Structure 1
């Protein structure tokens, strides 16, 4: 999923780190979407960056999903037009 930076605070331009965190929030969506829609909600997340993003666009690519007894763990790779920048991991609870 490709996304463009948006302001978290009206009138403020997000720093590259804040932009990565905002875009990375989509990890729950891309790793937990199933045949019945979104079955889990985000309870906790971890953002790990090897470098800051370059440019306005960033992507989130689902990497893994594991679930049992109403709890799920998802991970995704975050990237920009130059390649991977880091990973986002989420812990999710059944919706």
Structure 2
């Protein structure tokens, strides 16, 4: 279990207003433009939401050495941790700063 679980639960609460119960970790290796965009464990959480039963959350180091906590609701087409990481990467590339997720 990730030591970040309490911080990831806080990210889900802060970003989505939901309490979350950790269920498991899922290993994800996501490629983007021919490179590994993100690799590691994403945590899967049970949530109570009208459109989603799960939230997916993980942390990664940013270019400036800080930790960024990401939380994505399992609303279709996001049906797995892999989908959540992919969605976050795509969303990040569409931000004005255009960095990696």
Same fold at TM > 0.5: no
Task: Tell me the TM-score normalised to structure 2 length.
Answer: 0.29
Q: Select the structure that is richer in strand.
A: 1
Higher-Rg structure is 1
Q: Which has the higher contact order (CA 8 A, sep 6+)?
A: 1
